[in-house]
Amino acid sequence: MATSLPPTYDRTGQHPLSPDVDHDETARFNFLTNLNVHLNQNVFPGNRIAFENRVSPKFEKETGHALETRQQVRQAMLGDSYYQSWAALRRNAMEQRQQAGRHAVLRQLDDLIEKAKHYNDGKETLQIDPNAEVPRYLAAVDNHCMPGSYYTDVVSDDVLAGANYETGVFITTAGSMSSKGDGGGRSIVNFVKDRFPDFSPKRILDLGAGIGVNTLPIAEAFPDAEVVAVDAGAPMLRWGHARAQALGYENVKFIHADGDALDLDPNSFDWVQTTMFWHETSTASIHSMMKKVFDLMAPGGLFLNVEQPNFTPETPLYDQFTRDWDAWYNNEPFWSKLHVMDVFEVMAKAGFDSGKMFDGGTEADIEQGQFQPWSSTISRHKAELKDDGDSKHNAYKGERWYLFGGWK
């Protein structure tokens, strides 16, 4: 059993706001990162073997027919003792990661809030709306087991959600999001520059931007553009804005709003970006927000989204089950609905022309020279996608990131 070794936490990108992560906290993060890698590389593949050798034959013997739906696979797997061990360990690792990250941030929360205020107070580039409502779909279940999700303030001027998110993303992704956690944004820029070399946006909207970790590479690639990052979580934006300012990004404005209540000028954005946003948004709100996105976009503008590719008729049932896992057990409930959604149909209903839609993929962009030369990074989702024979996503070849979108 060979396990690749992930980089260590102390090699993550630091900025003037970064929490102090002490010796033992670093060790705790390192253990949890290694645990995630081990569960992914050495335990998770056994679920498929248990499914093929034990769960599927047992179901056929008992019912007289083969498994027909991913829901049946899920129910059948729940009774398997090997799968139970993996699932319990994985859920627990997620919870441990939240506890470890939150504790490190909470013990110095006063200092972090003061540091953030230094960058935030009096700045027009941060707009927090104390009356913004958190939609019920976001408020009912805390996304990926983060207590308080993106939006809860535990004290006034809180930054806990943002600081914990930034601190912990390394543990969950074992460094595959690059040292600053901005691998998604870096990959988006690569895709756009490669595929649309003449594209030169003047106004860019990043919807559901969180702390803007994937927004900043876009702002860097288009320094003359005005960039607007919108999110429903105030503590994410306080942290994200302060972080952006501390890193020298002055062309990014952070606006607090639920996407459904967003009040910006119509026909004004040359590029609307969402990154891993659809799967955390309710199906109903996706439909309403896409209409809003279409209205906000300038004619000739680009709408681009990063997500996992959805299921196709060729996606094996077992793969459908594993890719739905986070929906049910890592508190990302809308992902399962998204997996079977025709995103192009949703875009068409919002006003996009089917002839101007596209999709594709791009590889991970991990900043060189930050992590140890012996280290390797993993992609859990990519491991899950490897057997996904695919006919519809013909521009996507199984790269790290799947992108889809359209032109207005």
Partner 1 sequence: MTEIDVNKLANAKAKGKRPYFFDDPAVERVLSITMAVATELAVTRERLDTVERLLEAGEPVTKANIDAYRPDDDASKDRQQWHADYISRILRIVHQELEAVENESLNEDPEKLADDFAAA
| Residues 126-155 close enough to bind partner 1 by CB under 8 A | 139-142, 145-149, 154-155
Spatial contact of 239 and 162, defined as CB atoms under 8 Å apart: yes
Q: Is 118 among the residues that bind partner 1 (CB under 8 A)? A: no
CA distance 256 to 162: 13
Of these, 14, 49, 266, 283, which contacts partner 1 (CB under 8 A)?
49
From the CB of 215, what's the least distance to partner 1, in Å?
25
CA distance 80 to 48: 11
Spatial contact of 117 and 157, defined as CB atoms under 8 Å apart: yes
**Based on CB atoms, which residue is closest to partner 1, 270 or 324?**
324
Using CB under 8 A as the binding rule, the residues of this chain from 286 to 315 that contact partner 1 are none
242, containing H or E segment: helix 234-246
Of these, 57, 60, 78, 267, which contacts partner 1 (CB under 8 A)?
78
Q: Is 99 among the residues that bind partner 1 (CB under 8 A)? A: yes
Binding string, residues 28-47; x marks residues near partner 1 by CB under 8 A: x-xxx-xx-xx---xx--x-
**Based on CB atoms, which residue is closest to partner 1, 96 or 268?**
96
From the CB of 341, what's the least distance to partner 1, in Å?
22
Using CB under 8 A as the binding rule, the residues of this chain from 241 to 260 that contact partner 1 are none
From the CB of 153, what's the least distance to partner 1, in Å?
11
For helices 81-106 and 160-173, angle between their N-to-C axes, nearest 10 degrees: 140
**CA-wise closest residue to 262 among 282, 279, 285, 238:** 285
**Based on CB atoms, which residue is closest to partner 1, 107 or 349?**
107
Using CB under 8 A as the binding rule, the residues of this chain from 153 to 182 that contact partner 1 are 154-156, 160
Is residue 365 classed exposed, middle or buried when 0-12, 13-18 and 19+ CB atoms within 10 A define those classes?
A: buried
**Based on CB atoms, which residue is closest to partner 1, 10 or 345?**
10
C-beta contacts of 131-140 below 8 A and 24+ residues apart: 132/232, 132/234, 132/256, 132/257, 132/258, 132/261, 133/258, 133/261, 134/232, 134/258, 135/232, 135/258, 135/260, 135/282, 135/285, 137/281, 137/282, 137/284, 137/285, 137/334, 138/232, 138/258, 138/280
Binding string, residues 179-218; x marks residues near partner 1 by CB under 8 A: ----------------------------------------
Using CB under 8 A as the binding rule, the residues of this chain from 215 to 234 that contact partner 1 are none
| Count of residues engaged in binding partner 1, rule: CB under 8 A | 71
CA distance 83 to 211: 34
Binding string, residues 327-356; x marks residues near partner 1 by CB under 8 A: -xx-x-x-----------------------
Torsion of CA 19, 25, 29, 30, to 10 degrees: 120
From the CB of 146, what's the least distance to partner 1, in Å?
6
Q: Is 71 among the residues that bind partner 1 (CB under 8 A)? A: no
Of these, 57, 58, 75, 107, which contacts partner 1 (CB under 8 A)?
107
The full DSSP string for 30-64 is HHHHHHHHHIIIIIHHHHHHHIIIIIHHHHHHHHS
Binding string, residues 50-69; x marks residues near partner 1 by CB under 8 A: x--xx---------------
**Based on CB atoms, which residue is closest to partner 1, 53 or 312?**
53
Q: Is 102 among the residues that bind partner 1 (CB under 8 A)? A: yes
**Based on CB atoms, which residue is closest to partner 1, 117 or 356?**
117
CA distance 237 to 252: 11
> For residue 68, which phi and psi values (nearest 5 degrees)?
-120, -20
From the CB of 189, what's the least distance to partner 1, in Å?
29
Locate 76 and state its tokens: 């059948």
